[in-house]
Amino acid sequence: MVAPADVWCTGLAEYRLDDLARISGVSARNIRAYRERGLLDPPRRQGRSAYYDDYHLSQLKTINQLLRKGFTSAHIAEFFARMREGHDLAAILGVQQAILGGKPEPARPAAVALDLDPGCDEAQRLLSCGLAELKADSLSLTHPGIAEIVTHATDQRSYIQMILRVVASTEGTIDELAANLVAAIEDAFAARYGAGYVPRPDEADEVAALISDYRDLGMAVVAHQLDRAMQRHMVSAVSNYTAGIATNDWKPTE
């Protein structure tokens, strides 16, 4: 079974049908029906297995919201069909894509295999967190910045253990932070357009760009604040280390 996003981290994850049903609250039977009626995008196929992701989860939430507002399945199917064709209410699709990080990703460099057994605990945790991928029985990191550091290390395992420690120690904090950032985006959007506002077709690009900007701003501010806090703690750690050496009457080896 593919581990859900909340096992190790809260990034984009993949789910089997039963996992998606459990997380979304929509029965597997209804998910199949939505897919057959054109409401839900097809899953990613790998052999005989089907994998859904966070975008499908977002679509299910949208479907539930429309059903609660009185839309029929036929209306919703037509709605999604027109969105896929780029007609009329495509604005909402643009908004969803912006929330999920819809900007085109730059071309990724060729993956470098890790010196790590794909079946070991560390590898499975990296896969569950979405920080690694398995291709042709070799494991490689998915984040270019992390991959560049780790693949050039002489002791990759210690770097990987560092990554997993950070993931484990920040899991709850990251989820709470993400919820607060999304709430801030919702408030900012409501302050500009009004609560419950549905964009007009001609506002699609504007709304998608605004939400994408809000998302990027939130992440940039968090990165900046984290960097400042780490600098303070690093200075403190170095000072404590130096003081410890002095206290122990350290002397260089002659």
Does 73 share its domain with 30? yes
Residue at 115 is within a domain:
no
Q: Which amino acid is at 176?
A: E
Residue 170's φ and ψ, nearest 5 degrees, are -110, 0
Within a domain: residue 116?
A: no
Q: How many whole angstroms separate alpha carbon 9 and alpha carbon 172?
A: 9
Length of the chain: 254
3-state secondary structure of 1: coil
CATH code at 81? 1.10.1660.10
State the pLDDT at residue 12: 53
Task: Assess if residue 169 is contained within a domain.
Answer: yes
CA distance 44 to 133: 15
Give the torsion sign (CA, 197, 200, 203, 207). positive
Whether residue 181 is contained in a domain is answered as yes
Query: 219 with 252: CB under 8 angstroms?
Result: no
Task: Determine the pLDDT at residue 55.
Answer: 80
Taking only the tens of pLDDT, the chain with its 254 residues reads 333 433 334 345 788 999 999 888 889 998 998 888 878 888 988 888 889 988 888 788 878 877 777 777 777 777 666 666 654 444 554 545 544 444 444 545 556 678 888 889 998 998 888 888 888 778 888 888 888 888 888 888 899 999 999 989 888 888 888 888 888 888 888 888 887 777 776 777 787 788 888 888 888 898 888 888 888 877 777 666 656 655 554 444 44
pLDDT for the residue numbered 246: 52
Asked if residue 178 and residue 82 are part of one domain, the reply reads no
Per-residue confidence (pLDDT) for residue 35, from 0 to 100? 87
Q: Are residues 66 and 125 in the same domain?
A: no
Name the phi and psi angles at 45, rounded to 5: -100, 135
The pTM of this model reads 0.53
Closest-CA residue to 65 (of 53, 79, 54, 83): 79
Q: What is the pLDDT of residue 9?
A: 41
Kindly state whether residue 153 falls inside one of the protein's structural domains. yes
Query: Looking up tokens 């959007």, which residue turns up?
Result: 189
Q: Which two tokens stand for residue 30?
A: 């209804």
| Number of structural domains in the chain | 2
- Whether residue 83 is found in the same domain as residue 136: no
| CA–CA dist 226, 155 (Å, integer) | 26
Handedness of CA 104, 151, 177, 24 (dihedral sign): positive
Give the pair of three-digit tokens for residue 42.
Answer: 């097809």
Determine the pLDDT at residue 210. 83
Residues 77 and 128 placed together within one structural domain of the fold:
no
Residue type, 88: D
Q: Which domain holds residue 141?
A: 121-247
Is residue 96, in this structure, part of any structural domain at all? no
Cα–Cα distances (Å) from 32 to 17, 42, 49, in that order, read 9, 10, 14
Q: Does residue 61 belong to any structural domain of this protein?
A: yes
Return the pLDDT at 165: 93
Number of neighbours of residue 179 by Cβ within 10 angstroms: 11
Residue 63: per-residue pLDDT: 82
Residue 16: DSSP 8-state: -
